[in-house]
Amino acid sequence: MEYTAEMIAGLLNGKVEGDPGTRVHTIAKIEEGKPGALSFLANPKYEQYIYTTGSSVVLVRTDFRPVREVKATLIRVEDPYQSVARLLQIYEAARPVPKGIHPTAVIDETASVAEDVYLGAYAVVSANAVIGSGSCIYPHTWVGDGVKVGRNCTLHAGVRVYSDCVIGDNCILHAGTVIGADGFGFAPVADSNFMKIPQIGNVVIEDNVEIGANTCIDRATMGSTMIQSGVKLDNLVQLGHNVVIGANTVIAAQTGIAGSTKVGKNCMIGGQVGIVGHLTIADGCRIGAQAGIIGSVREEGSTVVGTPSLDSRKFMKSYAFFARLPELNRKVDEMAKTVEELKA
């Protein structure tokens, strides 16, 4: 599908600078641009490429001022990165949506599946499960007993949703995601073995949540593990039993959060963060990648980094001393030597 610069500017409320009839049919990085491609310049450190890019059209900020000739047609917008995101959404919405129920799909007679739902090959919808209108259940996905899937959800290939879990509207679960596996509940017994504690709760996922591939969210021991509306989880995230993730929080890959910890709304958690159980993370907190959180973060809007975690400002001051340790050690040795000479 082709678009002209004028059409794109109309979609984005932008202003064309150059030939409004310039046509594009693909999107490319600005440093890898080619004829017929649309690129964008959002980060000033990539400005050098706008003068050499082969792309036909480039989105730039309204206040961008080139220092040399730019061959590409420019479209000036308030935020190039957001504008590209909007274009990609439009492109995604134009892609054909699969329809119908594959003959190998299995639907229990007590399940309720809306007429316009797509069920791929070997998908399974178990007893008393409910699949809402417009949802797509891709091949080899299993929806357990009593599960409720809302409207316009996408469960990609190989997703497993255990019994009695609830998924809201407009959610996306990527391939291999597991919702509602048993929480890690074991009680030590006298002979040094462990007794399994039955996990009888569920997982509740509210509306507009996206969960990355191979992420696992454990069911609650009792009650519900809660993922509130607008949360975005990356690939390979592990959330323990009875965890609560507040609305619009984003969590990057390989983060693990132990049981019963409550994370506030609008938080940003970097990759490979580890958070121990039974903690509280206040609203609006930012946790740097690979941080180890061993105590609650109670001040809203805090930024913490490091293992064990510290306030980011304290961490940077401490790291400045750490970087000087070899020099400080040398000075201590010199002082010790001087003291010994004075004693002699």
The catalytic residue positions are 241
157 alpha-carbon distance from chain centroid: 18
Question: In terms of C-beta distances under 8 Å and separation of at least 24 residues, what long-range contacts does 199-205 make, across chains too?
Answer: 199/241, 201/225, 201/241, 201/242, 202/162, 202/163, 202/164, 202/165, 202/166, 203/162, 203/165, 203/166, 203/179, 203/227, 204/165, 204/166, 205/165, 205/166, 205/167, 205/168, 205/171, 205/179
| Strand, helix or coil for residue 268 | strand
- Contact criterion met (CB below 8 Å) for 148 and 166: yes
H-helix or E-strand spanning residue 331: helix 325-343
| Strand, helix or coil for residue 5 | helix
* CA angle 273–289–321, rounded 5-degree value: 115
Measured distance CA(25)–CA(11) in Å, rounded = 15
- Residue 130 is classified by DSSP as E
- Residue 127 CA: distances (Å) to CA of 108, 112, 140, 164, 303: 5, 9, 17, 10, 46
Measured distance CA(294)–CA(275) in Å, rounded = 6
